[in-house]
Structure 1
Amino acid sequence: MKGSTTVQDILDSAQALVQRQGYNAFAYKDIAQDVGIRGASIHYHFPTKADLGVALVRRYRNVVDVQLEHLNSLPAPEALRRFGRLYQSVTTEDGRVCLNLMLAADLPTLPEPVANELRRSLEAQEAWLEAVMEEGARSNTLTLRTSPREEARSLLALTEGAMLLARVAGDPLRFSAVYDHVLSALIV
């Protein structure tokens, strides 16, 4: 973690922990040990775990937003293919999955500010997918069975669920198989 700021190191460590174990399964001492700092240093930057959680979701959303912006100029089928590849890249051999997925699993016990930030993050992805579905319907490159909004919601749910099942199976490539199968039904 050399060359990065303490805040970035803390966020990187927290993100890896949440992506592997979930929000409720880590403590500041885990981050302190990983980063090589004292717990008080974490509290200096993030007074509460909720503060850390909100910062983590915001950072993740910003990264995803930038990645999705790069896909905006692509035809809808290619944008959806690459959207799937973004998720595939998160599914790793070391057991990490999408941060939003892991936080969603902990939703009933998340602090309200973290839960609200998570909702905003997922709503933004859903809105992006809806816009892609609308473009695909207009250009006759996607076959929608329902409204663009419902197709977007369905694809996001499938994407998150496929990632979880790939994790359970211990096979990151299972995600691609499921995603590609569903995508083939959408693409004209």
Structure 2
Amino acid sequence: METKTQAIEIAKNYLQLRGYNGFSFQDIADKLGIRKASLHYYFASKEDLGLALLEDYTQSFQQWVEKHEQRGPLEKIKKFIDMYHSFSQDSLKVCPGGVLCIDYNTLPTKLQKAVVHFQEQNQAWLETQIKKAQKLSEIKKDLNPKDTAILLISTCQGSLQLARMQNNPKLMKATGLNLISLIEK
């Protein structure tokens, strides 16, 4: 694996375990066994690394969407919750969007804009699935799709944090399933 790819993977791990402000170029360089200055060959700044992380997460989400394309909308929503649950099963990590929202006020402006765009893309995808599920009478038709998408995302992100705090990776999944039972028809 090339150094840039390794650096991104290490940074993803640190981000989801420690937050954006919880790691440095030096941490990544130490893990790679290289000098900190060598990372600047790939990333001019930590902001550039953060933008590369978001690009990587966006590509991963698009691949995830394609993988589940043949599923019905309610099943996709359930798989979305499963995706969040997989974070908690992996060393009680939190989702990248959630951790970047926590650190939002301390992020550089360009990275803040990228985080907003990332969250909006995920929310738009979820809204679309909710509308489709409503048309198929899989979930309640009186729910506002935008508000329900926000509810799902915020519940998933929040329950990941509680799962970490309580050292209980199953908490996130249970919370997600309870939420589904509230919106299902």
TM-score range (shorter-chain normalised) is: over 0.9
The answer to whether the 8 Å contact 2:92/2:163 transfers is no
* Equivalent position of 1:107 in the other structure: 104
TM-superposed deviation, 1:63: 0.3
The answer to whether the 8 Å contact 1:144/1:151 transfers is no
2-structure distance, mates of 1:147, 1:72: 23
The answer to whether the 8 Å contact 2:130/2:145 transfers is yes
* Equivalent position of 2:64 in the other structure: 67
> What residue ranges of structure 2 are gaps of 5+ in the alignment?
none
* Equivalent position of 2:52 in the other structure: 55
Q: TM-score, normalised by structure 1?
A: 0.94
Letter in 1 for 2:176: Y
The answer to whether the 8 Å contact 2:92/2:160 transfers is no
TM-superposed deviation, 1:158: 1.0
TM-superposed deviation, 1:147: 1.5
Identity rate of aligned residues, in percent?
28
Map 1:7-86 → 2, pairs under 5 A: 7-86=4-83
1-structure distance, mates of 2:43, 2:111: 13
Letter in 1 for 2:70: S
The answer to whether the 8 Å contact 1:76/1:142 transfers is no
Map 1:38-187 → 2, pairs under 5 A: 38-92=35-89, 94-187=91-184
1-structure distance, mates of 2:66, 2:151: 21
TM-superposed deviation, 1:92: 3.1
1-structure distance, mates of 2:175, 2:149: 16
> What residue ranges of structure 1 are gaps of 5+ in the alignment?
none
Structure 1 vs Structure 2 CA RMSD:
1.2
Please list the CA deviations of residues 109-145 of structure 1 after superposition, one character each: whole Å capped at 9, or x if unmatched: 0011111111111111100100000001111111144
Deviant stretches of 4+, over 3 Å = none
TM-superposed deviation, 1:50: 0.5
| Paired residue total | 185
Letter in 2 for 1:156: I
